[in-house]
Structure 1
């Protein structure tokens, strides 16, 4: 079966006011890959004088005809490469904010926060055609000075870095979905995160916390569960009884797909961690747990335990990693339990374990 090559011809059509409209004629017609409609003509929006009166008008006609011919050559090359993006002339006018919001629905809460900041920056209107390097670099500068959405103060430098990384991820998706003809990310500089101290609890402090009553018992159980498993708050909130299973060694495991990185993993947990989940049932494990509890209620409980450190719920994940490494668990295993994609990410916790550093320092002796 022979393949008929589409011929692209530059044609002219007389219109009003002594002008001629230039258009491309495709034969045979080409089919739009999304609408499946056949397309024969493409008007270029280029006009020339029907009867040029002077040298300037003749020169203008020559320049416009040259530009139209250049477009014709590009279209021929696109057809050979089976790149039909030029058929959709409305994409650049589509609402990028609507696309961004749609992507947020399957992502973690941070995506919605970034969406709200970006919407504020563009004053509620942004098409795909508006997306430029300058727009994004301006948004980076906006983030470095922006105020928090619901609380007092400005967002931290590292939060700005994370937010900018998220909005770049949306760009990557838009390019993958063929809404953009080029990946703008290739021309953007990221906001470099600053090294900050990761706060964590020692094993003795975790035990101290476990012995301190909490106003919200579900918060106490979920917090200690995080200390024993390293799970994030987002994954604990989504944890269901259906995610538990018995391993061949009759120990308990949980099958999760992390909300932050969409990583699927089967993680063994201790019986002590399993007991913190309460009576086996159906649906969510920590049913009464609310995100609002990890703010003031958590802070109050930490203070009542006599712990002076600034501890957030995410610090329980840090605590799990540091305690495991300090007790001799190898960094590769800890990395797998934390569902890190790169061991280098876990290496940060090894640097926090001063006890292991001291042990290393004492290993070499000349006495």
Structure 2
């Protein structure tokens, strides 16, 4: 290769790298949890995607040139279905020193998603009027690996309230953690959306404050909270931050580990931060008896996902059909007030909460 050709190749490398870095910076802007924690740092999403993209080109394209994105040419960027299928198969076959598979199917699917996202991003960027990646039509043909269903468990309403109060015993940011638990329960919001929530996402309405933000898949969510709860949130507002919950994702996850240990929650229950959201969605269904309202609150695209969320996991009591023949369904109307109150006090906290909300609704309409 003569000197001029080498210079042109280096110039092409530089221009391509500028677009690649621009793509990763865009990921950083869209996915950082909050300004203070990720200030002047790369977000976890950016780091993961960049690592996956480098791994892809190292395995598929860059065996002869080296593993760095800095050496990519326009020819290297042109991807095919065979490239992604080869990458997937290599990941599936990869083993560590102990002979165990390096990547689980869920991780493989995430890496494939990262490459597809990268390809679409590069197809939108141009050099001399031409897209960096000319054809991405095949991306929809890339199949994912099957992942064994493993759903997170749910908490009871009472457990969620207990957790919220327990958060105040934490050494750091106890009040922020308490309100984060309650807000997640109240709005059914995902953790990633919770941490991106800004004060400007709240709009005052006649009956409360509307919360509007961006959730999974860049979909919009809208929820309503009471004015009393909004005023409580204002107690954690930081003067120089636009974000509501100034706390990291790791802090919330680590708090959940300590919570499970403090309350001796067995690992078989699979209680994680996401369990709070699942509890909130289940409560919406029990309150309204409307699965479409539960689906709306959860922001699910499929009603099947919502049905999984509201699965009743308490098998400790005799079923409704089996007990119907033994119980007078009108009994609550025929007992004295003291007995009725005593029976209500023995119910689960979420049942009592629903009852009180119904009473409040009746009193308000009188």
Bin of the TM-score, shorter chain as denominator length: 0.5 to 0.7
Residue equivalent to 1:235: 193
Pick aligned residue for 1:256 from 213, 221, 239: 213
Q: Which moved more, 1:138-147 or 1:238-247?
A: 138-147
What is residue 350 of structure 1 aligned with on the other side?
A: 310
Q: 1:163 aligns with which of 85, 92, 111?
A: 111
In 1, distance between residues paired with 2:250 and 2:165?
A: 23
Q: Is 1:318 aligned to residue 318 of structure 2?
A: no
Corresponding residue number in structure 1 for 2:39: none
Aligned mate of 1:124, from 64, 68, 73 = 68
Aligned to 2:290: 330
Decide whether aligned partners of structure 1 residues 182 and 264 sit closer, same or farther in structure 2, where only a CA change above 3 A counts.
closer
Larger strand percent: 1
Consecutive unaligned residues of structure 1, counting only runs of 5 or more, are 1-89
Give the match's secondary structure for 2:211. Answer: strand
Check whether the contact 1:111–1:166 (CA below 8 A) recurs between aligned residues: no
Q: Matched residue of 2:155: which SS? A: coil
Please give the TM-score of this superposition, normalised by the length of structure 1. Answer: 0.60
Contact 1:294–1:312 (CA<8 Å) still a contact in 2? no
What CA distance in whole angstroms lies between the structure 1 residues aligned with 2:251 and 2:236?
Answer: 23
Q: Is the 8 A contact 2:28 2:45 kept in 1?
A: no
> Counterparts of 1:362 and 1:269 in 2: how far apart (Å)?
39
For normalisation by structure 2, the TM-score amounts to 0.61
Spell out, residue by residue over 1:183-223, the C-alpha distance to the aligned partner (whole angstroms, 9 max, x if none).
23144222233211222212122122133233331223212
The match for 1:189 is 143
* Counterpart selection for 1:101 from 24, 27, 30: 24
User: How many residues get paired?
Assistant: 270
1:1-367 to 2 correspondences below 5 Å: 94-95=16-17, 97-98=20-21, 100-108=23-31, 109-110=44-45, 112-121=47-56, 122=58, 123-125=67-69, 126-127=72-73, 129-130=75-76, 131-144=79-92, 156-175=104-123, 178=131, 179-212=133-166, 213-216=169-172, 217=174, 218-248=176-206, 250-258=207-215, 260-271=216-227, 273-274=229-230, 276-279=232-235, 281=237, 283-309=241-267, 310-352=270-312
From the CA coordinates, give the structure whose radius of gyration is larger: 1
Aligned equivalents of 2:242, 2:321: Cα separation in 1: 47
Compared CA separation, residues 199 and 270, structure 1 to 2 (3 A): farther
Moved more, 269-278 or 181-190: 269-278
5+ long unaligned stretches in structure 2: 1-11, 32-43, 59-66, 126-130, 328-366
What secondary structure is seen at the aligned counterpart in 2 of 1:119?
helix
Output one character per residue of 1:278-315: Cα deviation in whole Å (capped at 9) or x when no partner.
42756435454122302333311332234334432222
Would you tell me which structure has more helix in proportion to its own residues?
A: 2
- State the distance in 1 between where 2:285 and 2:111 align: 30
CA RMSD of aligned residues (A): 3.8
Q: Is the 8 Å Cα contact of residues 237 and 284 (structure 1) preserved in structure 2?
A: no
Distance verdict in 2 for CA 1:288–1:187, change over 3 Å: closer
Q: 1:233 to 1:155 in 2, by over 3 A?
A: farther
Instruction: Quote the offset at 1:270 in angstroms.
Output: 3.9
Structure 1 residues 363 and 133, CA gap change in structure 2 (3 angstroms):
farther
